[in-house]
Chain A
Amino acid sequence: MRRLKAQIIDQDGFDRTTIRLAHEILEKNRGAGNIVIVGIRTRGEFIARRIARIIEEVEHTTLQIGSLDITLYRDDLLGKLEQPQLKGTDILFDISGKDVILIDDVLFTGRTIRAALDELIDLGRPRTIQLAVLIDRGHRQLPIRADYVGKNIPTAAQESIRVHVKEVDGEDAVLLMHPEE
């Protein structure tokens, strides 16, 4: 069991952060014209939908949104005792030539993002792939960085970050947890 150490982001903070990320994405891409949004399952998918909705409201447009299940691209699959259940990749549009905004909740070792990049490239040839994360907690094991960061949170490697979203957890919040006891 992990115990709660601190709540880092509450409901208002969550909303402010996603709004800011949406605006940064728009600013850097000079509008939403060539953007498609891809969230990494499970929680990245819901954050992606929030950000996409904000962009759609601001720009009066409709975005193409997909979700990515990176399970099959994990580098630790063969060694695992418990095989993770497949949730399925659901990208019903062509990403070739697009600016793909890849969205996840927490950036940690970078291995999830490596898997996501490999999978995206198997799906087509985007013009760019840009990474947006709600939390960057450091401890990278691969040369990967995010283009848009909601909040940088220095952590100890044994601590963990939990992101809660309303759709799954009933609340929007980011929690810092003590190391496993």
Chain B
Amino acid sequence: MPLQSRHLLGLDGMRREDIQLILDTAVSFREVLDRPIKKVPPLTGKTVANMFFENSTRTRLSFELAERRLSADVLGFAATGSSVSKGETLKDTARNIEAMKVDMVVMRHSAAGAPHYLSRVIEANVINAGDGSHEHPTQALLDMYTIREKLGRLQDLHVCILGDISHSRVARSNIFGLKTMGARVTVCGPATMIPREITRLGVEVCHHIDDVLPSVDVLNVLRIQLERDAGRLFPSLREYHNFYGITRKRLEKAGRTITIMHPGPINRDVEISADVADSEHSVILQQVLNGVAIRMAVLYLLSSRT
């Protein structure tokens, strides 16, 4: 039973059995990562281009590692210093890359929908590595994988996503994926960071984190964009930390074991305190490791969908 689509553009509308297949396949690749030689041959002879039109270090590294561990040939492409700054359209850039006989394209772009557009103009399989504030499907898949690894299931778990929901592609992909897999999802943050009509996605909205923590199984803490948001979306980092920062004290008051996640990179002692980030309930580093396995699974499953 192969994946329905030959691209991974987002989790919005993805079938439950497809998500299940990716998560199950990732288990095999997670095992590969524990081997002395962490490399398997299924993508031998395939070429993958990583087109990152927006800065990213860890997602790019994670994809690159996944590609190399599947024995693919890897092409790197960073927006700075490339043809983008010379005025070439996305379509022309992509077609040029494709003319070099690339089989798959992994794309990060600041505009929502850019990979969807790309998938219509080129033949290669397209994987969305983050498009604007829209989706970041592999991040949500690795989050779900990590939750399932830690708690054994997704069905009926209560997952709270905390932070700037409006501008978060991680939040959106998690909402789509988790709802499909039967989880209960609450989004939490100041009203300035919750987009309008989001409850129509089947999530609950909460503005006071202490109200929701006592019923939460998993807390996914989003990164606060220091540069962009302070002064407009919330008054100050101090105030954000006091009202939304996840500290040991706040978690103890909740009186419940909560698995702590964060897509990284973390701002220590802003959205999450250092002791919580390093605690035994934090799975932040497992997320990073599982990210490689999930990306291997996605690349592997799509490689046969020509």
Contact = CB atoms under 8 A, between A and B. Distances in A.
B28 A88 contact: yes
B36 A77 contact: no
Interface in A116-139: 118-119, 122-124
B46 interface: yes
B223 to A, nearest CB: 33
Interface in A67-96: 69, 71-74, 77-78, 80-83, 85-90
A122 B28 contact: no
Interface residues of A, number: 22
B297 to A, nearest CB: 8
B304 A122 contact: no
Contact of B31 (A73, A80, A81, A90): A90
B65 interface: no
B265 interface: no
B42 A89 contact: no
Interface string A6-47: 000000000000000000000000000000000000000000
B25 interface: yes
Nearest to B305: A83
Nearest to A78: B45
A144 B25 CA distance: 30
Given A82-B2, A88-B27, A90-B31, A122 B40 contact: yes
Contact of A123 (B21, B27, B37): B37
B292 to A, nearest CB: 15
Nearest to B302: A83
A69 B24 CA distance: 14
A146 B24 CA distance: 33
Contacts of B27: 86, 88
B41 A118 contact: yes
B148 to A, nearest CB: 15
Nearest to A124: B36
Contacts of B42: 71-74, 77
Contacts, number: 52
B35 interface: yes
A86 B28 contact: yes
A73 B40 contact: yes
Nearest to B41: A73
A88 B297 CA distance: 12
B41 A88 contact: no
B88 to A, nearest CB: 32
Given A72-B40, A123-B36, A83 B28 contact: no
B285 to A, nearest CB: 22
Interface string B1-43: 1100000000000000000010011011001100111011110
Contact of A88 (B31, B44, B45): B31
Contacts of B45: 78
Contacts of B303: 78
Contact of A83 (B39, B44, B304): B304
A145 B229 CA distance: 67
B301 interface: yes
Contact of A69 (B1, B2, B21, B28): B28
A124 B37 CA distance: 8
Interface of A: 69, 71-74, 77-78, 80-83, 85-90, 118-119, 122-124
Given A82-B2, A87-B28, A122-B35, 19 more contacts: A69-B28, A72-B32, A73-B40, A74-B42, A78-B44, A78-B304, A81-B304, A86-B25, A86-B27, A86-B28, A88-B28, A88-B31, A89-B31, A89-B32, A118-B41, A119-B40, A122-B37, A122-B40, A123-B37
12 contacts: A72-B32, A72-B41, A72-B300, A73-B40, A78-B44, A83-B2, A86-B25, A88-B27, A88-B31, A122-B36, A122-B37, A123-B36
* Closest 3 pairs (CB-CB, A-B): A83-B304, A86-B28, A122-B37
